[in-house]
Amino acid sequence: MALLDRLPSRVLTPRGWGFTIAAVVALLFAQTLGRRDLLYLGILLLCLPLLSVLILRWSKPRFTVERRFSPQSMETGSTTTVGLALASPVPSGALVRMEEQLPARFGEAPKFAFPSHNPTSNGVSLYEYRLRSSTRGMYRIGPVLAEFGDPFGLGKSRHQLGGTDTLVVTPAPVELLQSALSGSRGSDGTAATRRQANPSDDDVMTREYRHGDSMRRVHWAATARHSELMVRQEESVTAPEATLLLDQRTGSFGSGSLAAIRHDHAPGGNGLSTSSTFEWAVTAAVSISAHLLERNYALRFLDHHGSPALLRSPSAPFPGEEEHQGQGALANIAEGLAALELAPEPGHAGSSAVHGGEAARSAVRRLRADRSHAERVAAGAAFGDELLDKLAANRHRGPVVALLGLVTAAEATALGAASEYGSAAFAILVADRARDVETQLEILRSAGWQASAASPDSDLREVWAGLDQSPGTATGVRTSTWAFPGTAAETRGRSS
Protein backbone atom coordinates (compact mmCIF):
# COMPACT_ATOMS: atom_id res chain seq x y z
CA MET A 1 0.00 0.00 0.00
CA ALA A 2 2.92 2.34 0.71
CA LEU A 3 4.14 1.76 -2.86
CA LEU A 4 0.75 2.75 -4.29
CA ASP A 5 0.76 5.99 -2.30
CA ARG A 6 4.08 6.98 -3.90
CA LEU A 7 2.77 6.68 -7.46
CA PRO A 8 1.56 9.82 -9.31
CA SER A 9 -1.88 10.73 -8.02
CA ARG A 10 -3.03 13.54 -10.33
CA VAL A 11 -5.00 11.16 -12.58
CA LEU A 12 -5.43 7.87 -10.74
CA THR A 13 -6.07 7.18 -7.10
CA PRO A 14 -4.12 4.46 -5.25
CA ARG A 15 -7.06 2.16 -5.94
CA GLY A 16 -6.90 3.01 -9.65
CA TRP A 17 -3.17 2.25 -9.71
CA GLY A 18 -3.90 -1.02 -7.95
CA PHE A 19 -6.35 -2.00 -10.68
CA THR A 20 -3.82 -1.05 -13.35
CA ILE A 21 -0.99 -3.07 -11.78
CA ALA A 22 -3.31 -6.06 -11.30
CA ALA A 23 -4.35 -5.80 -14.97
CA VAL A 24 -0.73 -5.84 -16.12
CA VAL A 25 0.04 -8.85 -13.93
CA ALA A 26 -3.06 -10.70 -15.22
CA LEU A 27 -2.09 -10.00 -18.83
CA LEU A 28 1.44 -11.28 -18.24
CA PHE A 29 0.18 -14.49 -16.68
CA ALA A 30 -2.38 -14.90 -19.47
CA GLN A 31 0.43 -14.65 -22.02
CA THR A 32 2.67 -17.03 -20.09
CA LEU A 33 0.10 -19.62 -19.08
CA GLY A 34 -2.15 -19.26 -22.09
CA ARG A 35 -5.22 -18.69 -19.93
CA ARG A 36 -8.08 -16.91 -21.72
CA ASP A 37 -9.90 -16.09 -18.48
CA LEU A 38 -6.86 -14.19 -17.20
CA LEU A 39 -6.79 -12.27 -20.47
CA TYR A 40 -10.43 -11.19 -20.03
CA LEU A 41 -9.77 -10.27 -16.40
CA GLY A 42 -6.71 -8.21 -17.31
CA ILE A 43 -8.58 -6.30 -20.02
CA LEU A 44 -11.47 -5.59 -17.64
CA LEU A 45 -9.16 -4.38 -14.88
CA LEU A 46 -7.31 -2.15 -17.32
CA CYS A 47 -10.44 -0.68 -18.92
CA LEU A 48 -12.08 0.34 -15.66
CA PRO A 49 -9.46 3.00 -14.65
CA LEU A 50 -9.16 4.22 -18.24
CA LEU A 51 -12.92 4.56 -18.54
CA SER A 52 -13.07 6.47 -15.24
CA VAL A 53 -10.39 8.91 -16.42
CA LEU A 54 -12.09 9.50 -19.76
CA ILE A 55 -15.48 10.15 -18.15
CA LEU A 56 -13.95 12.61 -15.69
CA ARG A 57 -12.13 14.40 -18.52
CA TRP A 58 -15.18 14.68 -20.72
CA SER A 59 -17.63 15.70 -18.02
CA LYS A 60 -17.70 19.46 -17.38
CA PRO A 61 -18.62 20.26 -13.78
CA ARG A 62 -21.16 23.07 -13.57
CA PHE A 63 -20.85 25.10 -10.39
CA THR A 64 -21.77 28.62 -9.42
CA VAL A 65 -19.28 30.26 -7.08
CA GLU A 66 -19.97 33.51 -5.26
CA ARG A 67 -17.39 35.17 -3.07
CA ARG A 68 -17.83 38.14 -0.75
CA PHE A 69 -15.54 40.01 1.64
CA SER A 70 -16.65 41.44 4.96
CA PRO A 71 -15.44 44.16 5.11
CA GLN A 72 -15.05 44.71 1.37
CA SER A 73 -11.55 46.15 1.86
CA MET A 74 -9.39 45.74 4.92
CA GLU A 75 -6.59 47.67 6.55
CA THR A 76 -3.15 46.22 7.08
CA GLY A 77 -2.98 44.27 10.31
CA SER A 78 -6.74 43.65 10.40
CA THR A 79 -8.79 40.71 9.16
CA THR A 80 -11.57 40.21 6.66
CA THR A 81 -14.03 37.34 6.52
CA VAL A 82 -14.37 35.65 3.15
CA GLY A 83 -17.72 33.99 2.46
CA LEU A 84 -18.03 31.34 -0.25
CA ALA A 85 -21.33 30.12 -1.66
CA LEU A 86 -21.18 27.08 -3.97
CA ALA A 87 -24.04 25.38 -5.75
CA SER A 88 -24.38 22.81 -8.52
CA PRO A 89 -27.49 22.41 -10.68
CA VAL A 90 -26.67 18.73 -11.14
CA PRO A 91 -26.87 16.82 -7.86
CA SER A 92 -24.03 14.42 -7.24
CA GLY A 93 -23.70 11.87 -4.52
CA ALA A 94 -19.89 11.85 -4.64
CA LEU A 95 -17.95 14.00 -2.15
CA VAL A 96 -15.93 16.71 -3.90
CA ARG A 97 -12.76 18.01 -2.29
CA MET A 98 -12.15 21.70 -2.84
CA GLU A 99 -9.38 24.19 -2.10
CA GLU A 100 -9.46 27.98 -2.35
CA GLN A 101 -6.48 29.40 -4.25
CA LEU A 102 -4.74 32.16 -2.28
CA PRO A 103 -1.55 34.20 -2.64
CA ALA A 104 1.28 32.54 -0.75
CA ARG A 105 1.57 35.39 1.75
CA PHE A 106 -1.80 34.43 3.26
CA GLY A 107 -0.50 31.06 4.37
CA GLU A 108 -2.13 27.68 3.91
CA ALA A 109 -5.10 27.60 1.57
CA PRO A 110 -8.46 26.63 3.15
CA LYS A 111 -9.78 23.21 2.18
CA PHE A 112 -13.36 21.98 2.37
CA ALA A 113 -15.72 19.38 0.96
CA PHE A 114 -18.82 19.79 -1.19
CA PRO A 115 -21.61 19.49 -0.26
CA SER A 116 -21.25 20.95 3.20
CA HIS A 117 -22.70 19.34 6.32
CA ASN A 118 -25.55 21.86 6.52
CA PRO A 119 -26.45 23.16 3.04
CA THR A 120 -29.27 25.65 2.64
CA SER A 121 -32.76 24.67 1.56
CA ASN A 122 -31.95 25.42 -2.10
CA GLY A 123 -28.80 23.28 -2.04
CA VAL A 124 -26.20 26.02 -1.60
CA SER A 125 -23.16 25.14 0.50
CA LEU A 126 -21.75 28.02 2.55
CA TYR A 127 -18.17 28.32 3.79
CA GLU A 128 -16.23 31.00 5.66
CA TYR A 129 -12.57 31.69 6.39
CA ARG A 130 -10.54 34.71 7.44
CA LEU A 131 -7.62 36.52 5.85
CA ARG A 132 -5.06 38.84 7.37
CA SER A 133 -2.35 40.84 5.64
CA SER A 134 0.43 43.04 6.95
CA THR A 135 1.16 44.43 3.48
CA ARG A 136 -1.00 46.76 1.42
CA GLY A 137 -1.90 45.93 -2.17
CA MET A 138 -4.43 44.24 -4.42
CA TYR A 139 -4.62 40.47 -4.09
CA ARG A 140 -6.45 38.02 -6.33
CA ILE A 141 -8.47 35.54 -4.31
CA GLY A 142 -9.57 32.37 -6.09
CA PRO A 143 -10.45 30.43 -8.12
CA VAL A 144 -11.62 27.31 -6.29
CA LEU A 145 -9.66 24.18 -7.23
CA ALA A 146 -11.97 21.16 -7.06
CA GLU A 147 -10.96 17.51 -7.21
CA PHE A 148 -13.63 15.21 -8.64
CA GLY A 149 -13.63 11.44 -8.43
CA ASP A 150 -15.65 8.64 -10.00
CA PRO A 151 -18.08 6.55 -7.92
CA PHE A 152 -15.60 3.64 -7.79
CA GLY A 153 -12.72 5.80 -6.55
CA LEU A 154 -10.39 4.83 -9.42
CA GLY A 155 -9.67 8.17 -11.09
CA LYS A 156 -9.76 11.85 -10.29
CA SER A 157 -9.77 15.11 -12.15
CA ARG A 158 -9.07 18.70 -11.10
CA HIS A 159 -11.05 21.68 -12.33
CA GLN A 160 -11.01 25.37 -11.54
CA LEU A 161 -14.40 26.67 -10.46
CA GLY A 162 -15.43 30.28 -10.70
CA GLY A 163 -13.17 33.23 -11.23
CA THR A 164 -11.09 35.47 -9.00
CA ASP A 165 -12.06 38.42 -6.84
CA THR A 166 -9.75 41.26 -5.88
CA LEU A 167 -9.16 41.97 -2.21
CA VAL A 168 -7.93 45.51 -1.55
CA VAL A 169 -5.69 45.91 1.50
CA THR A 170 -5.35 49.57 2.46
CA PRO A 171 -2.66 51.13 4.66
CA ALA A 172 -3.84 51.55 8.24
CA PRO A 173 -3.80 55.16 9.49
CA VAL A 174 -1.99 56.09 12.66
CA GLU A 175 -3.81 58.39 15.05
CA LEU A 176 -1.97 61.71 15.25
CA LEU A 177 -2.05 64.28 18.01
CA GLN A 178 -3.54 67.71 17.43
CA SER A 179 -0.91 70.06 16.07
CA ALA A 180 -0.44 73.58 14.82
CA LEU A 181 -2.39 72.62 11.71
CA SER A 182 -5.59 73.15 13.66
CA GLY A 183 -4.67 76.76 14.39
CA SER A 184 -7.71 78.77 15.39
CA ARG A 185 -10.13 76.23 14.02
CA GLY A 186 -12.88 75.04 16.24
CA SER A 187 -13.35 71.48 17.35
CA ASP A 188 -15.31 70.83 14.16
CA GLY A 189 -12.62 72.36 11.95
CA THR A 190 -14.58 75.48 10.99
CA ALA A 191 -13.42 79.06 11.36
CA ALA A 192 -15.32 82.33 11.48
CA THR A 193 -14.28 85.08 9.07
CA ARG A 194 -14.97 88.79 9.60
CA ARG A 195 -16.50 89.38 6.18
CA GLN A 196 -19.97 89.80 4.79
CA ALA A 197 -21.65 86.55 3.91
CA ASN A 198 -22.02 85.51 0.29
CA PRO A 199 -25.08 87.35 -1.03
CA SER A 200 -26.21 84.33 -3.05
CA ASP A 201 -29.73 83.17 -2.24
CA ASP A 202 -28.55 79.56 -2.49
CA ASP A 203 -26.30 79.64 0.57
CA VAL A 204 -26.67 82.56 2.98
CA MET A 205 -27.06 83.01 6.75
CA THR A 206 -29.69 85.48 7.90
CA ARG A 207 -31.05 86.88 11.17
CA GLU A 208 -33.78 89.23 12.20
CA TYR A 209 -33.37 92.97 11.63
CA ARG A 210 -31.88 94.95 14.50
CA HIS A 211 -31.96 98.69 15.08
CA GLY A 212 -29.01 100.28 13.32
CA ASP A 213 -28.57 97.60 10.62
CA SER A 214 -27.96 99.00 7.15
CA MET A 215 -30.81 98.58 4.72
CA ARG A 216 -28.27 97.38 2.13
CA ARG A 217 -27.94 94.16 4.13
CA VAL A 218 -31.65 93.33 4.02
CA HIS A 219 -32.29 89.90 2.50
CA TRP A 220 -35.61 90.40 0.73
CA ALA A 221 -36.22 86.75 -0.14
CA ALA A 222 -35.85 85.71 3.50
CA THR A 223 -37.97 88.67 4.55
CA ALA A 224 -40.79 87.46 2.30
CA ARG A 225 -40.57 83.93 3.67
CA HIS A 226 -40.52 84.92 7.34
CA SER A 227 -42.89 87.92 7.03
CA GLU A 228 -40.41 90.03 8.99
CA LEU A 229 -37.35 92.03 8.10
CA MET A 230 -34.27 89.77 7.77
CA VAL A 231 -30.63 90.79 7.17
CA ARG A 232 -27.51 88.90 6.16
CA GLN A 233 -25.10 87.82 8.88
CA GLU A 234 -21.86 89.72 9.33
CA GLU A 235 -19.95 86.51 10.00
CA SER A 236 -19.78 83.46 7.81
CA VAL A 237 -18.40 80.03 8.49
CA THR A 238 -15.81 78.70 6.06
CA ALA A 239 -14.56 75.16 5.66
CA PRO A 240 -10.78 74.86 6.22
CA GLU A 241 -8.56 73.72 3.38
CA ALA A 242 -5.22 71.92 3.26
CA THR A 243 -2.87 70.59 0.61
CA LEU A 244 -0.95 67.32 0.92
CA LEU A 245 1.98 66.61 -1.41
CA LEU A 246 3.34 63.08 -1.83
CA ASP A 247 6.61 62.55 -3.66
CA GLN A 248 6.29 59.29 -5.64
CA ARG A 249 9.54 59.07 -7.60
CA THR A 250 11.72 55.99 -7.63
CA GLY A 251 14.87 58.08 -7.24
CA SER A 252 13.53 59.76 -4.10
CA PHE A 253 12.84 56.54 -2.20
CA GLY A 254 15.59 54.24 -3.49
CA SER A 255 18.34 55.77 -1.32
CA GLY A 256 20.29 56.39 -4.50
CA SER A 257 20.25 52.73 -5.49
CA LEU A 258 17.63 50.77 -7.41
CA ALA A 259 18.62 47.77 -5.30
CA ALA A 260 16.59 49.30 -2.49
CA ILE A 261 13.40 49.07 -4.56
CA ARG A 262 11.36 45.93 -4.02
CA HIS A 263 9.63 44.46 -7.06
CA ASP A 264 7.42 41.90 -5.42
CA HIS A 265 6.47 39.47 -8.19
CA ALA A 266 6.98 36.26 -6.22
CA PRO A 267 3.99 33.95 -5.84
CA GLY A 268 1.57 35.78 -3.59
CA GLY A 269 3.29 39.11 -4.04
CA ASN A 270 1.34 42.29 -4.59
CA GLY A 271 3.40 43.31 -7.62
CA LEU A 272 4.22 46.79 -6.32
CA SER A 273 7.44 48.69 -6.92
CA THR A 274 8.08 50.09 -3.48
CA SER A 275 10.65 50.50 -0.72
CA SER A 276 10.66 50.75 3.05
CA THR A 277 10.93 54.54 2.94
CA PHE A 278 8.03 54.83 0.49
CA GLU A 279 5.90 52.51 2.64
CA TRP A 280 6.51 54.85 5.59
CA ALA A 281 5.49 57.82 3.44
CA VAL A 282 2.28 56.06 2.32
CA THR A 283 1.35 55.34 5.93
CA ALA A 284 2.05 58.97 6.79
CA ALA A 285 -0.12 60.11 3.87
CA VAL A 286 -3.18 58.13 4.95
CA SER A 287 -2.65 59.13 8.59
CA ILE A 288 -2.38 62.85 7.82
CA SER A 289 -5.39 62.59 5.51
CA ALA A 290 -7.42 60.99 8.30
CA HIS A 291 -6.22 63.65 10.75
CA LEU A 292 -7.34 66.49 8.47
CA LEU A 293 -10.56 65.00 7.13
CA GLU A 294 -11.78 64.18 10.62
CA ARG A 295 -11.45 67.90 11.35
CA ASN A 296 -13.60 68.81 8.32
CA TYR A 297 -10.73 69.96 6.14
CA ALA A 298 -11.14 70.00 2.38
CA LEU A 299 -7.99 68.12 1.36
CA ARG A 300 -6.18 68.67 -1.92
CA PHE A 301 -3.94 65.62 -2.58
CA LEU A 302 -1.19 66.14 -5.18
CA ASP A 303 1.97 64.42 -6.36
CA HIS A 304 5.40 65.89 -7.12
CA HIS A 305 4.19 67.28 -10.48
CA GLY A 306 0.98 68.81 -9.17
CA SER A 307 -1.17 66.03 -10.66
CA PRO A 308 -3.77 64.15 -8.60
CA ALA A 309 -1.77 61.95 -6.25
CA LEU A 310 -3.84 58.83 -6.97
CA LEU A 311 -3.87 59.20 -10.75
CA ARG A 312 -1.62 56.16 -11.36
CA SER A 313 -3.15 53.88 -8.75
CA PRO A 314 -5.18 50.95 -10.19
CA SER A 315 -7.03 50.64 -6.89
CA ALA A 316 -8.24 54.25 -6.77
CA PRO A 317 -12.04 54.52 -7.18
CA PHE A 318 -11.68 58.09 -8.53
CA PRO A 319 -8.09 58.41 -9.77
CA GLY A 320 -8.51 61.83 -11.39
CA GLU A 321 -9.82 63.55 -8.27
CA GLU A 322 -7.46 65.83 -6.39
CA GLU A 323 -9.90 67.35 -3.88
CA HIS A 324 -11.33 65.15 -1.14
CA GLN A 325 -13.91 66.19 1.41
CA GLY A 326 -16.85 64.83 3.34
CA GLN A 327 -18.11 61.37 4.04
CA GLY A 328 -16.25 58.63 2.24
CA ALA A 329 -13.25 60.80 1.38
CA LEU A 330 -10.88 58.93 3.69
CA ALA A 331 -12.03 55.56 2.34
CA ASN A 332 -11.37 56.75 -1.22
CA ILE A 333 -7.87 57.95 -0.33
CA ALA A 334 -6.99 54.79 1.59
CA GLU A 335 -8.25 52.59 -1.25
CA GLY A 336 -6.26 54.62 -3.76
CA LEU A 337 -3.10 54.29 -1.68
CA ALA A 338 -3.53 50.50 -1.50
CA ALA A 339 -1.87 49.88 -4.88
CA LEU A 340 0.06 53.12 -5.33
CA GLU A 341 3.67 52.45 -6.30
CA LEU A 342 6.79 54.38 -7.13
CA ALA A 343 6.71 56.29 -10.40
CA PRO A 344 9.46 55.52 -12.93
CA GLU A 345 12.02 58.20 -13.62
CA PRO A 346 12.12 59.86 -17.07
CA GLY A 347 14.02 57.61 -19.48
CA HIS A 348 12.89 54.37 -17.87
CA ALA A 349 10.57 51.99 -19.68
CA GLY A 350 7.99 52.32 -16.96
CA SER A 351 6.79 50.61 -13.87
CA SER A 352 7.61 46.96 -13.40
CA ALA A 353 4.45 46.27 -11.45
CA VAL A 354 2.16 43.68 -12.96
CA HIS A 355 -1.44 43.63 -11.87
CA GLY A 356 -3.47 40.74 -13.20
CA GLY A 357 -7.00 40.48 -14.40
CA GLU A 358 -9.38 43.40 -14.24
CA ALA A 359 -6.93 45.50 -12.21
CA ALA A 360 -4.44 45.50 -15.09
CA ARG A 361 -7.09 46.37 -17.67
CA SER A 362 -8.39 49.17 -15.46
CA ALA A 363 -4.89 50.58 -15.04
CA VAL A 364 -4.29 50.51 -18.80
CA ARG A 365 -7.53 52.36 -19.46
CA ARG A 366 -6.63 55.05 -16.96
CA LEU A 367 -3.13 55.46 -18.32
CA ARG A 368 -4.45 55.81 -21.88
CA ALA A 369 -7.04 58.35 -20.81
CA ASP A 370 -4.40 60.52 -19.16
CA ARG A 371 -1.60 59.95 -21.69
CA SER A 372 -1.47 63.54 -22.85
CA HIS A 373 -1.32 64.80 -19.28
CA ALA A 374 1.42 62.32 -18.39
CA GLU A 375 3.47 63.27 -21.42
CA ARG A 376 3.15 66.93 -20.53
CA VAL A 377 4.37 66.58 -16.96
CA ALA A 378 7.05 64.02 -17.82
CA ALA A 379 9.05 66.67 -19.61
CA GLY A 380 8.99 68.98 -16.59
CA ALA A 381 11.00 68.75 -13.40
CA ALA A 382 9.51 67.75 -10.07
CA PHE A 383 8.13 70.61 -7.96
CA GLY A 384 7.98 72.74 -11.09
CA ASP A 385 5.69 75.43 -12.39
CA GLU A 386 2.57 73.26 -12.65
CA LEU A 387 2.69 72.42 -8.95
CA LEU A 388 3.54 75.96 -7.91
CA ASP A 389 0.71 77.36 -10.04
CA LYS A 390 -1.82 75.11 -8.33
CA LEU A 391 -0.55 76.14 -4.91
CA ALA A 392 -0.58 79.80 -5.89
CA ALA A 393 -4.19 79.52 -7.05
CA ASN A 394 -5.14 78.60 -3.49
CA ARG A 395 -2.82 81.00 -1.71
CA HIS A 396 -3.24 81.21 2.08
CA ARG A 397 -6.34 79.02 2.13
CA GLY A 398 -4.74 76.52 4.44
CA PRO A 399 -1.56 74.65 5.37
CA VAL A 400 0.65 72.75 2.94
CA VAL A 401 2.09 69.39 4.06
CA ALA A 402 4.78 67.71 1.94
CA LEU A 403 5.93 64.09 2.28
CA LEU A 404 9.25 63.89 0.51
CA GLY A 405 11.95 61.35 -0.13
CA LEU A 406 15.59 61.96 -0.85
CA VAL A 407 15.16 65.18 -2.81
CA THR A 408 18.12 67.06 -4.22
CA ALA A 409 19.24 70.48 -3.03
CA ALA A 410 17.92 72.03 -6.26
CA GLU A 411 14.52 70.38 -5.75
CA ALA A 412 14.40 71.56 -2.15
CA THR A 413 15.15 75.08 -3.35
CA ALA A 414 12.38 74.89 -5.96
CA LEU A 415 9.90 73.64 -3.37
CA GLY A 416 11.00 76.25 -0.86
CA ALA A 417 9.15 78.95 -2.78
CA ALA A 418 5.87 77.17 -2.10
CA SER A 419 5.97 78.04 1.60
CA GLU A 420 4.45 81.47 0.89
CA TYR A 421 1.37 79.87 -0.71
CA GLY A 422 0.10 78.24 2.47
CA SER A 423 -0.93 79.59 5.82
CA ALA A 424 1.79 77.26 7.13
CA ALA A 425 4.19 74.86 5.41
CA PHE A 426 5.24 71.50 6.87
CA ALA A 427 7.61 68.95 5.34
CA ILE A 428 8.74 65.46 6.32
CA LEU A 429 11.78 64.03 4.54
CA VAL A 430 12.01 60.23 4.66
CA ALA A 431 15.47 58.74 4.23
CA ASP A 432 17.49 55.81 5.55
CA ARG A 433 20.27 57.99 6.99
CA ALA A 434 20.09 61.35 8.73
CA ARG A 435 23.10 62.85 6.95
CA ASP A 436 21.42 62.36 3.56
CA VAL A 437 18.83 65.08 4.23
CA GLU A 438 20.67 67.60 6.41
CA THR A 439 21.26 70.04 3.56
CA GLN A 440 17.72 69.73 2.25
CA LEU A 441 16.26 70.37 5.69
CA GLU A 442 18.30 73.55 6.07
CA ILE A 443 17.19 74.78 2.64
CA LEU A 444 13.51 74.20 3.39
CA ARG A 445 13.71 75.77 6.84
CA SER A 446 15.49 78.84 5.53
CA ALA A 447 12.64 79.21 3.02
CA GLY A 448 10.03 79.18 5.80
CA TRP A 449 9.11 75.48 6.01
CA GLN A 450 8.76 73.62 9.28
CA ALA A 451 10.67 70.47 8.36
CA SER A 452 11.61 67.22 10.07
CA ALA A 453 13.33 64.03 8.99
CA ALA A 454 12.25 60.45 9.47
CA SER A 455 13.49 56.95 8.74
CA PRO A 456 11.45 53.81 8.02
CA ASP A 457 11.68 52.91 11.72
CA SER A 458 10.59 56.30 13.04
CA ASP A 459 7.45 56.72 15.11
CA LEU A 460 5.05 58.73 12.98
CA ARG A 461 3.41 60.29 16.04
CA GLU A 462 6.73 61.67 17.26
CA VAL A 463 7.67 63.00 13.84
CA TRP A 464 4.28 64.69 13.49
CA ALA A 465 4.54 66.24 16.94
CA GLY A 466 8.08 67.39 16.11
CA LEU A 467 6.85 69.52 13.23
CA ASP A 468 5.55 72.08 15.72
CA GLN A 469 9.05 72.31 17.17
CA SER A 470 10.94 72.83 13.91
CA PRO A 471 10.33 76.47 12.90
CA GLY A 472 12.17 78.24 10.13
CA THR A 473 14.45 81.22 10.40
CA ALA A 474 11.54 83.65 10.70
CA THR A 475 11.41 83.05 14.43
CA GLY A 476 15.07 83.92 14.92
CA VAL A 477 15.93 80.43 16.15
CA ARG A 478 16.68 77.48 13.91
CA THR A 479 15.79 74.09 15.35
CA SER A 480 16.79 70.66 14.07
CA THR A 481 14.45 67.86 15.03
CA TRP A 482 15.63 64.35 14.13
CA ALA A 483 13.36 61.35 14.41
CA PHE A 484 15.77 58.56 13.58
CA PRO A 485 15.76 55.44 15.78
CA GLY A 486 18.65 55.06 18.14
CA THR A 487 19.38 58.79 18.06
CA ALA A 488 18.04 61.04 20.76
CA ALA A 489 16.13 64.06 19.49
CA GLU A 490 18.63 66.88 19.45
CA THR A 491 17.70 70.56 19.46
CA ARG A 492 20.34 73.09 18.63
CA GLY A 493 19.47 76.77 18.95
CA ARG A 494 21.31 79.56 17.27
CA SER A 495 20.30 83.17 17.63
CA SER A 496 19.99 85.16 14.46
Handedness of CA 109, 168, 458, 460 (dihedral sign): negative
- Percent of the chain, pLDDT > 90? 51
Nearest CA to 69 out of 122, 138, 121 is that of: 138
Q: What is the pLDDT of residues 431-473, one digit of tens each?
A: 998 889 999 999 999 999 999 999 999 999 999 998 876 544 3
Lowest mean pLDDT segment, chosen from 89-98, 117-126, 184-193:
184-193
Structure confidence at residue 283 (pLDDT)? 97
**Residue 330 CB-density burial (10 A; 0-12 exposed, 13-18 middle, 19+ buried):** buried
Q: What is the pLDDT of residues 317-335, one digit of tens each?
A: 999 999 999 889 999 999 9
Handedness of CA 179, 423, 251, 362 (dihedral sign): positive
Q: Give bridge partners of residue 262 from the DSSP assignment.
A: 274
Nearest CA to 425 out of 444, 409, 407 is that of: 444
Handedness of CA 353, 354, 357, 363 (dihedral sign): positive
Pairing of strands 236-238, 191-193: antiparallel
Tell me how crowded residue 77 is: count the other CB atoms within 10 A of its CB: 12
Phi/psi for 454 (5° steps) reads -150, 155
Cα–Cα distance for residue pair 220/225, rounded to 1 Å: 9
Q: Give bridge partners of residue 311 from the DSSP assignment.
A: none
3-state secondary structure the chain: CHHHHHCCCCCECHHHHHHHHHHHHHHHHHHHHCCHHHHHHHHHHHHHHHHHHHHHHHCCCCCEEEEEEECCEEECCCEEEEEEEEECCCCCCCCEEEEECCCHHHCCCCEEEECCCCCCCCCCEEEEEEEECCCCEEEEECCEEEEEECCCCCEEEEEEECCCEEEEEECCCCCCCCCCCCCCCCCCCCEEECCCCCCCCCCCCEEECCCCCCHHHECHHHHHHHCCCEEECCCEEECCEEEEEECCECCCCCCCCHHHCEECCCCCCCCCEECHHHHHHHHHHHHHHHHHHCCCCEEEEEECCCCECCCCCCCCCCCCCCEECCCCHHHHHHHHHHCCCCECCCCCCCCCCCCCHHHHHHHHHHHHHCHHHHHHHHCCCCCCHHHHHHHHHCCCCCCEEEEECCCCHHHHHHHHHHHHHCCCEEEEEECCCHHHCHHHHHHHHHCCCEEEEECCCCCHHHHHHHHHHCCCHHHCECCCCEECCCCCCCCCCCEC
Tell me how crowded residue 119 is: count the other CB atoms within 10 A of its CB: 14
Cα–Cα distance for residue pair 415/409, rounded to 1 Å: 10
Contact 161, 63 (CB under 8 A): yes
Contact 20, 12 (CB under 8 A): yes
Cα–Cα distance for residue pair 418/245, rounded to 1 Å: 11
b/e 262-276 (16+ beta carbons within 10 angstroms → b): bbbeeeebbbbbbbb
- Percent of the chain, pLDDT > 70? 75
pLDDT band at 351 (very low <50, low <70, confident <90, very high): very low
CA 388 to chain centre: 28
Cα–Cα distance for residue pair 59/53, rounded to 1 Å: 10
Global pTM reads: 0.77
Which amino acid, 140?
Answer: R
Structure confidence at residue 60 (pLDDT)? 77
Structure confidence at residue 194 (pLDDT)? 39
Q: What is the pLDDT of residues 268-299, one digit of tens each?
A: 456 789 999 999 999 999 999 999 999 999 99
Give the mean model confidence (pLDDT) for residues 221-235: 80
pLDDT at residue 204 is higher than 70: no
Structure confidence at residue 263 (pLDDT)? 53
Mean pLDDT of the chain: 80
Q: What is the CA radius of gyration of the chain?
A: 33
